[in-house]
Amino acid sequence: VTLKGKPRFSDFNLVPENWGADIHAWLVVFAAKYPFLEELRLKRMAISDESLEFLAVSFPNFKALSLLSCDGFSTNGLAAIATHCKNLTELDIQENGIDDKGGSWLSCFPESFTSLEVLNFANLSSDINFDALERLVGRCKSMRVLKLNRSVSLEQLQRLLVNAPQLAELGTGSFSEELTFRQYVELESALSNCKNMHTLSGLWDAKGIYLPALYPVCTHLTFLNLSYAALRSDELAKLLAHCPRLKRLWVLDTVEDKGLEAVGLNCPLLEELRVFPADPFDEEIIHGVTEAGFVAVSFGCPRLHYVLYFCRQMTNAAVATIVQNCPDFTHFRLCIMNPGQPDYITNEPMDEAFGAVVKTCTKLQRLSVSGRLTDLTFEYIGRYAKNLETLSVAFAGSSDWGMQCVMGGCSKLRKLEIRDCPFGNAALLSGLEKYESMRSLWMSACNVTMNGCRLLAREMPRLNVEVMKEDGSDDSQADKVYVYRSIAGPRRDAPPSVLTL
Amino acid sequence: MERRVNYENDLNLMATELRLGLPGCDDDEPQRKTNPSIRNNKRTAPEISEVSSSESSSSITMSGSDDQDSPPPAKEQVVGWPPIRSYRKNCLQSSKRNEVEGMGMYVKVSVDGAPYLRKIDLKVYRSYPQLLKALENMFKLTIGAYSKREGYNGSDYAPTYEDKDGDWMLVGDVPWEMFISSCKRLRIMKGSEARGLGCV
């Protein structure tokens, strides 16, 4: 079972903490009806330690637990899973709001336990008992995914790898301590024995001088996640020279445009690129990546179809060039970090940039827009983005017309999330007929009122129209609105701050 | 054209009416231009609400007219922007703390009786046990356990450090973060000499 709960904007703290999406009631029903449950994958759900304990003891054949961007639990819950799930093959803990009370949970796997294939505890920061980990990895001969946390040192990594050369995916721990020459050679040797490795991540605080230890593994890598390693452009360039087969690359913008040029030069098979900002909140920063880096990648990587790009400047011309080079984009997520920023050369809105994207990339499924945008952007989207399923909009548009174009034109739209835009009731209501065929609509800090929401709720009884009010806001304003279809009526687990109209 | 006035003025049913004008322009209607930035001010962190509502970071694109030459947005933090998960934000912040004091935090380490000094990067360690273990490995000696009352009594060696004031202190007395920010160099003393530091 895979369950996704809260609206995506909860990742950015826009949703009240106790909004709902608690897994417990589901587990109680599953335990009664599906005691043979083996796999549970949760995204943006609330899960408590009690729920994890209940899960661990209620399903005797439980095999795989994956938690992504969830919250409400601590390492005590993980201890319960490790203690009771005799057949566990997968424990994947990713990017959660977890209360890390210490690393003793890992020692709870019994000595007789050998079935683990996937272990990802990169999320956690506490020290774990390394001896326990070493024994665990040593006896789980089918382990193919191991993602360590920062507390595991390079020397310890080497010891683990010696006993697990079959690993396909590795998340290193901290990649920065001092190694003697002998230790370095041993690490390089251990890595070169990992013939099946196709995915590499971790590399926290990576020191450039030790990256060459990775070269033997790089030749076969298809996914390299450097988004927690603040590499410089020259360090990245040297590394990528050894990664000809790379299909997916995640980096920090510390690599700058020069680093991205190296991507274009060395990775012709690249399909996905994500560039995260190392200093998202520092306005004084003048480096990072610009339009030039993105353009350079597009020239060298014609197969690129997924991009997430955080930058501080962009031009319409650059985006037009990019999509000309890479017309197969399915996911185009561009975040110009200064809200409402225009083309920095012409000072015009970025309308033509996104116009080029939707006109050229006919397979486009997901789009995130940014920068200074007028209704024209949304006219383009409504007219051309016929395969668009997910659209994210922030600080954009001039009037209701913008959103109306999208609601009227994007026939395959499933998810629409909007914040800080001048779209009001007319825009909201223009989608009346459409919301039942969509997964959800989010609108926050727009011009929608309570009356507009009430009208929507009244006209469409099979929609849940939820309004979250801000403290101190005007009574008539609907600060945050979340609309989704339901045949079950209003949910009963909403907190008082969430009104279902 | 007959204009239907709805009692609930805010519904703005004008938008669905037949008119001759272009959709989107409502010259006659009282403009529903509640500036979202005002609400943003109330919503966001206290620093932002102090900005005057006439000009705030998120309001620039909403002033309506495209040909207005908008001033660049004020530099402030908007809630949930840029859209980065909290987990990633927290990771970056803790890395930054490490970087702020420069590339690595190398300090000299001397051991009584050893012919030359070594250097270690304190940034690499996250706790006293980690550091002490590394020192034991590096110099092939035993330091043993620390206790608040006895220091390293019973060990052959005791780790000490010179702090910002130039005083020689026993490693372990102060919280790790405080130690990291005040340690200038390390000296691993022979147990017999260190006893003077261990017990008062």
Task: List pLDDT tens digits, range B120-151.
Answer: 888 788 788 889 988 988 888 888 888 888 88
Q: Which residue, chain included where needed, has tokens 């020689």?
A: B168
Do the Cβ atoms of A339 and B70 come within 8 Å?
Answer: no
Angle at A376 between CA A373 and CA A379, to 5 degrees: 125
Look up residue A46 and give its amino acid: A
Residues 6+ apart with CB under 8 A from A268: A244, A300, A301, A302, A303
Averaged pLDDT score across all residues of chain A: 95
Produce one character per residue of A391-430: b if its CB has 16 or more CB atoms within 10 Å, e if not.
Answer: bbbbbbbbbbbbbbbbbebbeebebbbbbbbbbbbbbbbb
Q: Which domains does chain B have, with CATH numbers?
A: 103-195 (3.10.20.90)
Q: Which residue has the higher pLDDT, B55 or A102?
A: A102
Q: Identify the three-state secondary structure at position B59.
A: helix
For A422, which of B39, B62, B123 is closest by C-beta distance? B62
The conformational region for residue A204 under phi > 0 = left, psi -120 to 50 = alpha, else beta, is beta
Q: Which residue has the higher pLDDT, A280 or B13?
A: A280
Helix (H) or strand (E) holding A192, with range, is helix A181-192
Do the Cβ atoms of A177 and B124 come within 8 Å?
Answer: yes
Residues 6+ apart with CB under 8 A from A135: A111
Residues 6+ apart with CB under 8 A from B54: none
pLDDT for B4-50, tens place per residue? 333 344 665 544 444 444 554 444 443 333 333 333 333 333 333 33
- Pairing of the two strands A199-201 and A145-147: unpaired
Distance from CA of A1 to the nearest CA of B (A): 24
- Would you say A323 and A291 are in contact if contact means Cβ atoms under 8 Å apart? no
> In 3D, which of B15, B111, B62, B90 has the Cα closest to residue A280?
B90
Of the CA atoms within 13 Å of residue A277, those in its CB half-sphere come to 26
- Would you say A221 and A196 are in contact if contact means Cβ atoms under 8 Å apart? no
> In 3D, which of A492, A496, A352, A444 has the Cα closest to residue A22?
A492
Residue A390, pLDDT > 80, answer yes
Look up residue B24 and give its amino acid: G
Q: Which residue, chain included where needed, has tokens 């994947």?
A: A92
pLDDT for A401-440, tens place per residue? 999 999 999 999 999 999 999 999 999 999 999 999 999 9
pLDDT at B116: 84
Of the given ranges (A181-190, A396-405, B105-114), which has the lowest mean pLDDT? B105-114
Distance from CA of B165 to the nearest CA of A (A): 28
| Percentage of residues in chain A having pLDDT higher than 70 | 99
For A338, which of B8, B73, B96 is closest by C-beta distance? B73
Q: Which residue, chain included where needed, has tokens 């609108």?
A: A443
**Span A250-255, average pLDDT:** 96
- Would you say A126 and A102 are in contact if contact means Cβ atoms under 8 Å apart? yes
Residue A384, pLDDT > 70, answer yes
CA–CA separation, A335 vs B82, rounded Å? 8
Residues of chain A neighbouring B91 (CB-CB closer than 8 A): 228
pLDDT at B10: 65
Lookup: tokens for A240: 């990528």
- Tell me the sheet residues that pair with A68: A43, A94
| Interface A-B: count of C-beta contacts within 8 A | 170
**Counting runs of H as helices and runs of E as strands, what totals does chain A give?**
16, 22
Q: Alpha carbon of A254 to those of A208, A234, A246, B93: distances in Å?
A: 13, 11, 20, 15
- Would you say A183 and A162 are in contact if contact means Cβ atoms under 8 Å apart? no
Nearest CA in chain B to A445: B36
For B95, which of A96, A127, A205 is closest by C-beta distance? A205
Residue B156, pLDDT > 70, answer yes
For B85, which of A11, A374, A455 is closest by C-beta distance? A11
CA–CA separation, A459 vs A430, rounded Å? 12
Among B residues 79-138, those touching chain A with beta carbons less than 8 Å apart: 79-89, 91-92, 95-96, 98-99, 120-121, 123-127, 130, 134
- End-to-end CA distance of chain B, in Å? 96
- End-to-end CA distance of chain A, in Å? 30
DSSP state of A438: S
For B66, which of A374, A420, A429 is closest by C-beta distance? A374
- Would you say A483 and A463 are in contact if contact means Cβ atoms under 8 Å apart? yes
Q: How many other CB atoms sit within 10 Å of the CB of residue B168?
A: 12
CA–CA separation, A270 vs A67, rounded Å? 28
Q: Could you give the residue ranges of the DSSP H alpha helices within A330-445?
A: 351-360, 375-384, 400-409, 425-430
Lookup: tokens for A47: 């899960």
pLDDT at B96: 62
Residue A483, pLDDT > 60, answer yes
Interface test with A, best of B33, B61, B139 (most A CBs within 10 A): B61
Q: Which residue, chain included where needed, has tokens 């990664």?
A: A243
> In 3D, which of A198, A216, A209, A322 has the Cα closest to residue A260?
A322
A255 CB burial (10 A radius; 0-12, 13-18, 19+): buried
CA–CA separation, A347 vs B95, rounded Å? 35
Q: Alpha carbon of A239 to those of A170, A182, A246: distances in Å?
A: 17, 22, 11
